[in-house]
């Protein structure tokens, strides 16, 4: 069993050395993983953590996602610098996760020495950090310099995964990212979702990614390809023969009434290993899905999950039905409804059922007893008197 130190999700406020040291209980010489996400770390605590990290010998996973919630912007650079500098010489490191920390463009510089000079880590996770175009360019340039240093030494880059979504990278940093990803040519997973990148930026980015021949997973969801970006992506698709998962959802791949350039390339067999294809919300219509029906058997033989919701089609259309049957035979699924919407509907149905059950179990309300009025009282008294008369008459006859 690996030696793991985890404080994940404990919600600790670690301001000082005295706050954090009692939690650093694992032997640093044998520590393989550290997970501190979901806590908040101040400058002094970060410096104590850095001293502990420097002692590690076999550290593989450093998970510092979401560790600065509630911190002043002036605190973050100092704390981040201490942590990153402590990891520069860790040749055993495989994964670094700094996601969900609100660095912003002003707080990225402390990461640069680590990103440039630690050329051992394989997985970089920088998701949802508010980098912006300028901060994104700083990070990308650090990765580029790292690759160039490796090339100078005749050493192959070890970087295999880059996850940098929800960072507002935009067109301003896209060309530098393209160069950085190109330099780390052995990447197998790239995820850069929801970054506000437009057609010019997407073209520059995709041209860089096209050189990554070993790519297995590519996710560029929720950026704007347009006509220019779609053509560039179509040209790049044959460069990824090992591709298994492709997410181009919400990317404006097609103009209304037209077929995206991406479609015929996919259906010419550019990516025969593709098993997951996500093309939701791209203005695709019936003519695009007609092409998929014609080519799926021969040119997409491995495809099992195909997401097409929020496009223009009728679920009862014969070609949509045919696609669904083909994927079902393979043990897969044609996804025609947004899974998030289905989940919301399921939750609403569950709530409605719970409310119905509560109503069924609730006791019937008590019927209040109305006090008799004067008329009712007089009627009862008359009935009682008549009853007595009847009884006395009966006794006389006897």
Number of structural domains found in the chain: 1
Query: Residue 382 has what pLDDT?
Result: 45
CA distance 29 to 21: 16
In a domain, 309, yes or no: yes
pLDDT at 383 over 70: no
Q: Render pLDDT for 245-301 as a digit per residue (tens, 0 to 9).
A: 999 999 999 998 899 999 999 999 999 999 999 999 999 999 999 999 999 999 999
pLDDT at 368 over 90: no
CA distance 249 to 254: 11
pLDDT band at 397 (very low <50, low <70, confident <90, very high): very low
pLDDT band at 348 (very low <50, low <70, confident <90, very high): low
CA distance 81 to 288: 50
CA distance 28 to 31: 5
pLDDT band at 384 (very low <50, low <70, confident <90, very high): low
**Residue 70 · residue 101 · CB < 8 Å:** no
Range of the domain at 258: 225-315
In a domain, 366, yes or no: no
In a domain, 287, yes or no: yes
Residue 291's contacts (CB-CB under 8 Å, 6 or more residues apart) are: 259, 263, 264, 267
Q: Which helix (H) or strand (E) holds 33?
A: strand 31-35
Query: Residue 104 has what pLDDT?
Result: 87
Instruction: Report the CATH number that the domain containing residue 230 is assigned in CATH.
Output: 3.80.10.10
Compute the CA torsion angle 215, 221, 223, 227 (nearest 10 deg).
Answer: 70
Which of 254, 135, 239 has the alpha carbon at shortest distance from 195?
A: 135
In a domain, 230, yes or no: yes
Comparing 35 with 369, the larger pLDDT belongs to 35
Q: Render pLDDT for 197-213 as a digit per residue (tens, 0 to 9).
A: 999 999 999 999 999 99
In a domain, 277, yes or no: yes
Q: Is 172 helix (H, G, I), strand (E, B) or coil?
A: helix
Q: How many CB atoms lie within 10 A of CB 63?
A: 19
Give CA separation, 199 vs 62, 77, 220, 259, in Å.
Answer: 35, 33, 12, 17
pLDDT at 63 over 80: yes
In a domain, 347, yes or no: no
Can you give the pTM of this predicted structure?
0.87
In a domain, 275, yes or no: yes
Q: Mean of the pLDDT values across residues 171-200? A: 98
Positive or negative, the Cα torsion across 287, 289, 293, 297? positive
In a domain, 300, yes or no: yes
């Amino acid at each position: 069993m690996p030696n793991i130190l985890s404080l994940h999700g404990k919600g600790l406020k670690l301001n000082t050395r005295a706050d954090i040291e009692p939690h650093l209980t694992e032997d640093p010489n044998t520590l393989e993983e550290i997970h501190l996400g979901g806590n908040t770390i101040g400058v002094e605590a970060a410096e104590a953590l850095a001293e502990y990290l420097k002692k590690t010998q076999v550290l593989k996973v450093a998970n510092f996602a979401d560790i600065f919630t509630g911190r002043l912007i002036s605190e973050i650079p100092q704390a981040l610098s201490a942590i990153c500098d402590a990891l520069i010489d860790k040749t055993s490191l495989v994964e670094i996760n700094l996601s969900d920390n609100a660095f912003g463009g002003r707080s990225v510089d402390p990461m640069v020495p680590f990103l440039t000079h630690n050329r051992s880590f394989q997985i970089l996770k920088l998701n949802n950090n508010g980098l912006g175009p300028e901060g994104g360019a700083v990070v990308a340039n650090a990765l580029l310099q790292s690759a160039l240093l490796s090339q100078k030494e005749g050493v192959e880059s070890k970087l295999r995964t880059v996850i940098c979504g929800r960072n507002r990278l935009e067109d301003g940093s896209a060309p530098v990212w393209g160069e950085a990803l190109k330099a780390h040519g052995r990447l197998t997973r790239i995820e850069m979702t929801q970054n506000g990148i437009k057609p010019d930026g997407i073209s520059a980015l995709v041209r860089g990614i096209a050189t990554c021949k070993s790519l297995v997973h590519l996710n560029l969801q929720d950026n704007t390809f347009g006509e220019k970006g779609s053509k560039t992506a179509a040209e790049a698709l044959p460069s990824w023969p090992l591709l298994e998962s492709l997410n181009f959802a919400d990317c404006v791949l097609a103009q209304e009434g037209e077929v995206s350039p991406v479609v015929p390339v996919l259906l010419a067999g550019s990516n025969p290993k593709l098993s997951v294809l996500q093309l939701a919300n791209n203005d695709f219509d019936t003519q695009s899905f007609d092409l998929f029906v014609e080519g799926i058997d021969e040119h997409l033989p491995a495809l099992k999950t195909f997401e097409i919701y929020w496009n223009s089609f009728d679920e009862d259309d014969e070609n949509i039905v045919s696609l669904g049957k083909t994927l079902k035979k393979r043990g897969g699924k044609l996804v025609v409804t947004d899974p998030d919407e289905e989940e919301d509907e399921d939750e609403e149905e569950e709530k409605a059922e719970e409310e119905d059950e509560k109503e069924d179990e609730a006791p019937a309300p008590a019927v209040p007893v109305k006090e008799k009025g004067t008329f009712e009282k007089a009627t009862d008294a008359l009935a009682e008197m008549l009853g007595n008369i009847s009884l006395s008459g009966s006794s006389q006859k006897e």
